[in-house]
Structure 1
Amino acid sequence: MTQEEARAWEKHVEREFRLWADSPNCDASRMCTFGQLQSLVQISALTSGDIFAALPVIKRKGVIYDLCVYLIEGDRVCNPEDRFIPNLYGGVEVGEFSEPVAYWVAKHHPAGTSGFVTRKWERIPAYGSKTGRRNILHVMQDFERPGQRRGVPVLAPVIEALKQLGRYTDAELVAAVVSGMFTVFIKTDAPDGPVGESGIPQYEQIDNHDDNTQEMGNGSIVSLGEGESIDTANPGRPNTAFDGFVVAICRQIGAALELPYELLVKHFTASYSASRAALLEAWKMFRMRRDWMVQSFCQPIYEEWLAEAVAKGRVIAPGFFYGPEYRAAWSGAQWYGPSQGQLDPLKEVKAAKLRVEETFSTREKEAAEMSGLNWEETAHKSVAEKRMLAVSWGLLHLLFLR
C-alpha cells in the first residue's frame, strides 16, 4: 500500500467512524454521541472513582452498525447483598493472578431501590469464552497500589478540607449579614404603654412562635421590657483575614488535585511566564488522564467498531482477522482532545511554526493541539479561499480597467 493509498484508507475509515460516532445510535440508551459519552465517562470516573462500559450488539432498523456502548455507574458494580465472597472485591471477580474474570452488576442502583424490591445481580464475564472479546471496559484512572480493583474519587484527598471550607464561608457570610443589619432597641424603666413591638413583620420572622427570642432585621425597631437591656458582641466583619485564609486553603486543595491555584479558581493575575508555567504543569496531569481515557475507553471501542466495519465489508483491511498482530497494525490511531488554548497566540504560533520547520512536530499535530481542527481539511479550505480571493481581485481589476 502506497502512502497515497494509506491516506485514502485513513480518510475513508474516519468518515465511517464519524458515521457511527456522531449519532446517538452508538449509545445503547440513544442519548449521547460518542463524544458526549467520553465527557460523561470522564466526569463519572473522576466523581465516583471509576465507571464501567458494556459493549452490547443491538440490531436496530435504519442503523448501519450494531455496536453500542452501555455505561454502568460504578455504584452498581458491587458484591451481592454486600456479602464477603472470596476473590470478589467491590463487585470485581478476580482470577489466580488478580486479573478481572467477571463483574457483578446490580440490576438497579443500590441506593435507588426500596426494601420492597428484590435486588438482583448479574454476573458478566470480562471476556467472551469463545471469541475473547472484551465484554466490559473498566475506566479507572487513579491506580495507587498493586491489586487495586476499584477507583478512588478525585476529591477523596480533599473532601474534608472542602467541607470545612464551606462551613467557614457560611459562618463568615452569616456574620457579615448580622454585622450589616441596623437595629434600634428602645429601653425604658417605666413604660406607660407599648412603644411598638418588633419592627420585623411576622411573616418575615424566622421563628414567630418563640416569644423568648428577639430577631434582628434591616432598619428594624425593637422594644424591650421593663428593666431589660441589650448587649451585643461586635462581630468585627468583614474579616480582613478571610481572603488570605481561603487562598491558602485553596492552594493546598489545588496541590492535592495537581491543579495550580490560578487554574483552580480560574483567576489569572500573574505574569505571562508564571501563568504559562502553571498551565504547563496542569497539562502534564491532563495529558496523563487523557492517555488513561484513550487506552481504557476510546481505543478499545474503536477497535471493536473497526472489527465490525471490516466484518460487514464497509472497510477493506486484508488479513485483519488473521491474527492479533494484523489487527493491531490496522487498528492504530492517534487521539487528540480539546486544544489547550493560548495565553499569547502570537508567541505560541511562532513556536509551533519553528517546531514544524525543525521537524520536531507535524502540521497535523500542531493544528490538532492548537485549534482542534483537521490540518488537511483546513489546508484544502485555505487553498479554496485563496482561489476565491484571486478571482475576486481579478474581477475588481478588470472592473477598474474599464
Structure 2
Amino acid sequence: MSKVQILAPNGLPAREQLSTWQGAGVGFGGQLERWQPRLQTIDAALLPNLKLGNARAEDVTRNNAFAANGVQMHIDNIVGHLFRLSYKPRWRLLGISDADARAFAQDVEAWWYEYAEDPVGCWLDVERKRTATMMVREAVGTHTKLGEVSAAAEWVERRGTPMRTAVRMVSPKRIGNPGDRGDTANMRAGVEFDRNGVAIAYHIRQLASGGLGLGTGFGGEWRRVEREAANGRIKFIHVFEPSEDGQARGANQFLTVLEQSHMLPKLQHTKLQNAIVNAMYAATIESELGNDAALELIGAGDESVEKIAKYMMAVNSFNSGSKLSMNGVKIPHLWPGEKLHLQTSGNVDNGFADFESSILRWMAAGLNLPYEPFARDYRQSTYSSARASMMEGWRYYMGRRKVIAARFATHLFVLAFEEALQRRLLTLPRKATRGFYEARASWCNCEWIGAGRLAIDGLKEVKEAVLRIESGLSTYEKELALLGEDYQETFAQQVREMNERREAGLPPPSWMQAQALAPEQPEPTE
C-alpha cells in the first residue's frame, strides 16, 4: 500500500506547512508561502557574486558621501591617529620576573616606534609609503569595504636600516583562482586548503598597466604565495571574521545596504533638480487655448512668428489696461481662459528630510554605526540619547579593534620582532626558561591602544573614571587607554613636569584645587 500524503489547498504537502513556528510556516494569510530561500553554505551564497559585490561597494564609497563617511568613521574610531603598542609578555610562563618583563617591554616598545612608526623611513612598508599606523588604518578601511585584509611578508635589503622584514599591502581584489577558473574541492576564490580546511596558500593576480583608465589594472598572471614558511613564519596575512565554518573569504559590510546606498544620491539629485526648477520660475500662466490654435501660434504656417508677436502684444495690452490694485499692489486681470499659478519653494522638501533620514538609519544599522555621527544629524539628540548611541558604537568599535585591527597589527609586530631578535637588536631576558620559538605566543603577546572614546560631558566622565579607580573597579592603564593614551608615558611625563615645576619654584598641582574649579554641574535636560 502506497504512503498517503495529505495536501494543502495550494497543492503542497500539508505536513510541511503545519509548523508551530509562524516564521517556518506559510504566515498570516499565506504571505510567506512563496518565500522559499535555499539553505546554502556561506561560500555558496557569497563567492558566486563576490567580485560584483566588492565592485559595487567600492563604487558606493567613491560616490556616496555618507558611505565614504561610514568607512572613515571605522578608521578614525578603531585606529585613530596612532595605534600604540602595549607590549605584555606573559612573564610567568617565560620564567622571568615582572620587573624583567617590564624592562624588556620598554626596550621593545622603543624599538618598535623607531622602526615601524618612522615617518621618514617607513621601513615596515615595502613601498615605503606607510608607517605601521597607516598600514593598520588602510587595513581597517579595506576590511570595511571588502570584508577582509591581506598582505604579503617580504625580505627586502635596503640602505638605512639593518632590518629586512617588510610587508606589502595586497588588495583582496587580487586574490582569485588562476585564469579565473572555477572552484575545486581544495581551492575556493583563490585560497588553497588542506583536508582540514586550513588555508595553505593564496593565488595573487599580478598588476599590469591600467591603460589610462580604460583597463582594470590587472594582468593575466597569478603568483602562488604560501601562508607560512617551514619554521612557522607568516608569509601571507589574511584577516577576516568568519561567520560560518568552511568560509574562505570575507563579506563586506555594505552588502546589506548597497541598494539604499546606490539609490540615495539619485534621489537627492532628483530633489535638487526639482528645487532648481521651482526657483527658476516665480509664476506660470495656464491657458485654455485649443490645440489647433496653439500649434498655429507656435509653428504652423509661414506667419507663425508674426502671429505669436500679435498674440503676446494683445495679451500684454489687455493686462496693462487692468487698473485693479490692493494696498498698492497691482492685481492682474488675466486674458479669458488663463490661470495664474504662483511657484513657491514651500513644498520643496515635501517630506524628503524624513525619508532621507529613514534611509540613512537603514544604512547606519547595516554598517553598525551610530546614526547621529553617520548622518551628521544631531537635531533630535538629547544628552542621554547621544551618550547611549556613542556607547553602543564604542562597543562595536572595540570588537573590531580586537578582531581585525589588533590582529593585523600583531602579525606585523611578530614578523619584525622575530628578525630583531635574530639580529640582536633586542635580547631576551637572561633568566628566561623558554626561547622565542618555544613560546612564540607568550613572547609576542601585546595589546594595542587606538583612538580614545568620545566624551560628551568631559567633567562627568572624568569623575566617573576617578571613582572607578578609587573603588578598585578599574586601573589607570584601562582609563587612560579609553582616552587613547599609554599610562606609562603619562606617568613619566607627569614626573618630568613635577620636577620642572619644582625647579621653577612653582607649587605642585593640587587635586583639591582642580575639584574646586570644577564644581558639580546640574544634569542636562537636553
Amino acid at match of 1:8: A
- Change beyond 3 A, Cα 1:241–1:133: same
Match of 1:173? 272
Please point out which of 411, 415, 430 is paired with 1:300.
411
**Partners in 1 of 2:190 and 2:202 — Cα distance?**
6
Amino acid at match of 1:98: G
Match of 1:334? 447
Q: Deviations over 1:72-109 (max 9, x none)?
A: 11111111121114222111111112211110001117
**Partners in 2 of 1:30 and 1:8 — Cα distance?**
31
**C-alpha displacement at 1:233, in angstroms?**
12
Structural mapping, 1:259-298, within 5 Å: 259-269=369-379, 270-294=381-405, 296-298=407-409
Match of 1:100? 199
1:250 correspondence with 2:360: yes
Amino acid at match of 1:18: Y
Match of 1:145? 244
Q: Secondary structure at the match of 2:256?
A: helix
**Partners in 2 of 1:92 and 1:116 — Cα distance?**
21
1:161 correspondence with 2:260: yes
Greater relative contact order (Cα < 8 A, sep 6+): 2
Structural mapping, 1:1-400, within 5 Å: 1-23=96-118, 24-86=122-184, 87-108=186-207, 119-128=220-229, 130-141=230-241, 143-182=242-281, 192=306, 237-269=347-379, 270-294=381-405, 296-317=407-428, 322=435, 324-370=437-483, 372-393=484-505
Q: Secondary structure at the match of 1:373?
A: coil
Identity %: 26
- Tell me, yes or no, if the aligned pair for 1:76 and 1:109 is still in contact at 8 Å: no
- Change beyond 3 A, Cα 1:357–1:185: closer
- Change beyond 3 A, Cα 1:248–1:333: same
**C-alpha displacement at 1:323, in angstroms?**
6.5
**Partners in 2 of 1:42 and 1:351 — Cα distance?**
31
**Partners in 2 of 1:19 and 1:261 — Cα distance?**
39
Match of 2:76? none
Q: Deviations over 1:220-279 (max 9, x none)?
A: xxxxxxxxx999997974133111111111112212222221131133342222111111
Query: Larger deviation: 76-85 or 261-270?
Result: 261-270
**Partners in 1 of 2:139 and 2:265 — Cα distance?**
27
- Tell me, yes or no, if the aligned pair for 2:183 and 2:189 is still in contact at 8 Å: no
**Partners in 2 of 1:2 and 1:116 — Cα distance?**
54
**C-alpha displacement at 1:296, in angstroms?**
3.4
Q: Secondary structure at the match of 1:121?
A: strand
- Tell me, yes or no, if the aligned pair for 1:356 and 1:363 is still in contact at 8 Å: yes
Could you list the runs of 5+ residues in structure 2 that have no partner in the other structure? 1-95, 288-293, 298-303, 310-337, 508-526
- Tell me, yes or no, if the aligned pair for 1:52 and 1:74 is still in contact at 8 Å: yes
- Change beyond 3 A, Cα 1:91–1:230: farther
**C-alpha displacement at 1:192, in angstroms?**
3.8
**Partners in 1 of 2:376 and 2:218 — Cα distance?**
46
- Change beyond 3 A, Cα 1:117–1:298: closer
**Partners in 2 of 1:89 and 1:110 — Cα distance?**
27
Q: Secondary structure at the match of 1:56?
A: strand
**C-alpha displacement at 1:322, in angstroms?**
4.0
Q: Secondary structure at the match of 1:146?
A: coil
- Tell me, yes or no, if the aligned pair for 2:436 and 2:443 is still in contact at 8 Å: no
**Partners in 1 of 2:223 and 2:378 — Cα distance?**
50
**C-alpha displacement at 1:325, in angstroms?**
5.0
**C-alpha displacement at 1:308, in angstroms?**
1.1
**C-alpha displacement at 1:131, in angstroms?**
1.4
- Change beyond 3 A, Cα 1:383–1:236: closer
**Partners in 1 of 2:144 and 2:218 — Cα distance?**
30
**Partners in 1 of 2:216 and 2:479 — Cα distance?**
56
- Tell me, yes or no, if the aligned pair for 1:28 and 1:69 is still in contact at 8 Å: yes
**C-alpha displacement at 1:55, in angstroms?**
0.9
Q: Secondary structure at the match of 1:346?
A: helix
Q: Secondary structure at the match of 1:177?
A: helix
- Change beyond 3 A, Cα 1:123–1:244: same
Structure 1 length normalisation: TM-score?
Answer: 0.81
Q: Secondary structure at the match of 2:200?
A: strand
Match of 1:198? none
- Tell me, yes or no, if the aligned pair for 1:78 and 1:90 is still in contact at 8 Å: yes
**C-alpha displacement at 1:9, in angstroms?**
1.1
**Partners in 2 of 1:121 and 1:231 — Cα distance?**
70
- Tell me, yes or no, if the aligned pair for 1:137 and 1:296 is still in contact at 8 Å: no
Q: Secondary structure at the match of 1:290?
A: helix
| Larger-Rg structure | 2
**C-alpha displacement at 1:373, in angstroms?**
2.3
- Change beyond 3 A, Cα 1:7–1:140: same
Q: Secondary structure at the match of 1:27?
A: coil
Query: Larger deviation: 230-239 or 255-264?
Result: 230-239
Q: Deviations over 1:127-148 (max 9, x none)?
A: 21x212221110224x232211
Match of 1:208? none
- Change beyond 3 A, Cα 1:46–1:394: closer
Amino acid at match of 1:332: N
**C-alpha displacement at 1:193, in angstroms?**
7.7
**What is the root-mean-square deviation in Å for CA atoms of aligned residues?**
3.1
- Change beyond 3 A, Cα 1:278–1:126: same
**Partners in 2 of 1:60 and 1:137 — Cα distance?**
22
**Partners in 2 of 1:110 and 1:99 — Cα distance?**
34
